[in-house]
Amino acid sequence: MKIRLATQQDKKRWDAYVETHPLATPYHRFAWGLACEHAYKQPMRYLIAEDDQHQVCGVLPCIAFKRPFSAAKSVALPYCDTGFALGDDDQITASLLGKLRSQSDYRDVSHEPADPEALQAGQKVVLRLPLPENSELLMSSFKSKLRSQIRKAEKNGLTMALSETPNEHVTLLPHFYDVYKQNMRLLASPAHAYSWFESVIAHYGDNARVCVVYQASTPIGAGIVIMNGTVAAIPWASTLPQYNRLAPNMMLYWSLLANVTDAGMQTFDFGRSSFGEGTYKFKTQWGALPYPLNWHDGSSTAHQPQAVETGPPGAVRQLAENVWPKLPLGFTVAIGSAIRRYISL
């Protein structure tokens, strides 16, 4: 077996391997690394393993993540919930990780199914929903209360638009970003640059979906889904709270769930939440199951998975929550997008 750095010429072989691997996520596609490079100048350090017949037998997506005034650290993967080595067997996976460890510090994440009763309040989990053969079966699997909530948005006069191709994505992306940037200001969180989303949808192409919910012509909810093999994930979803009484979040999620189910997806990844909190409860009402997120820090001497800090210290966070939502939107977007590239989660 040979392990080397992947190049642009390996993209098709890489994605072909990832598309059929049972543990792969949409973030494992070559497109995620390309977006990191092109939008944020964070270089790819993708490792590929080949057997003696030159067939791909393992991959490890990783970014040489660089912050100002500090050395680059390998991260698998930044800007998302997950990222880890894939291999034909455990030995290949271990060899890929060993190769990375020999070159630099690293951080990756693993997750295994868990009994929800064993989870603790505030623990970070990713929530996943098994999908049936079609959207009709999916709708019939929901409780009557959830079905009525889905219908509520339509009764309130909301409409939606959903794109499946690159040309369509470009049309909807400004509307998505309009909702996203407002929501991030309210959450006191730095927003990704518009160029980041342009790069993501450009590289994922037909493996992306953009959905926008409208009241009349005003975008009030929006989300982006990316896909790989039979798995769909929603890294970003936002609604404007002043319209939440109209249930735009229900129309947004149902529209995307129905679309990817009918497209042949078998799993929907709702993304990261804290166990027991509001977004966790929203996602579990759809039937999603929790999987603990265990981040591993290669620069630590600890033997157990490490919880990675996802924000500033408490006092700083509290100050930001009080001040950030009151600042001009253009200012929060400009400042936030300038620093977001340096926040790995």
CATH number of domain containing 131: 3.40.630.30
Say which residue the tokens 């698998």 belong to. 76
pLDDT confidence of 325, banded at 50, 70, 90? confident
pLDDT score for 301: 47
Which residue, 70, 92, 110, sits at the end of a domain?
A: 110
Identify whether residues 42 and 95 lie together within a single domain.
yes
Q: How many domains does the chain have?
A: 2
Domain containing residue 289: 116-294+321-332
Identify whether residues 177 and 102 lie together within a single domain.
no
Identify whether residues 184 and 37 lie together within a single domain.
no
pLDDT score for 119: 72
Model confidence pLDDT, tens digit, residues 234-263: 999 999 999 999 999 999 999 999 999 999
Q: What is the mean pLDDT of residues 32-48?
A: 97
Model confidence pLDDT, tens digit, residues 172-190: 999 999 999 999 999 999 9
CB 76 within 8 A of CB 107: yes
Within 10 angstroms of residue 165's Cβ, the number of other Cβ atoms is: 12
The 3-class SS string of 49-82 reads EECCCCCEEEEECCEEECCCCCCCEEECCCCCCC
Model confidence pLDDT, tens digit, residues 284-306: 999 999 988 877 776 654 444 44
Closest CA to 124 of 290, 259, 240, 265: 290
Closest CA to 107 of 291, 311, 299: 299
What is the rounded average pLDDT for all residues in the chain? 90
Reported for 326-330, long-range contacts at CB under 8 A and 24+ positions apart, including other chains, are: 327/185, 329/181, 329/182, 329/185
Identify whether residues 144 and 288 lie together within a single domain.
yes
Which residue, 110, 133, 158, sits at the end of a domain?
A: 110
CA within 13 Å, CB half, 20: 9
Is it the case that residue 111 has pLDDT exceeding 60?
no
Is it the case that residue 34 has pLDDT exceeding 70?
yes
Residues 188 and 283: their CA atoms lie apart, in Å, by 22
Q: How far is CA 316 from the centre of its chain?
A: 26
pLDDT score for 71: 87
Residues 200 and 133: their CA atoms lie apart, in Å, by 28
Model confidence pLDDT, tens digit, residues 128-173: 999 999 999 999 999 999 999 999 999 999 999 999 999 999 999 9
As given in the structure block, the two tokens for residue 281 are: 């409860």
Residues 113 and 115: their CA atoms lie apart, in Å, by 7
Identify whether residues 35 and 162 lie together within a single domain.
no
Identify whether residues 246 and 162 lie together within a single domain.
yes
pLDDT score for 123: 83
pLDDT score for 165: 95
- Give the pTM: 0.92
Share of the chain above pLDDT 90, in %: 76
As given in the structure block, the two tokens for residue 299 are: 């620069």
pLDDT score for 116: 60
Residues 280 and 128: their CA atoms lie apart, in Å, by 11
pLDDT score for 124: 87
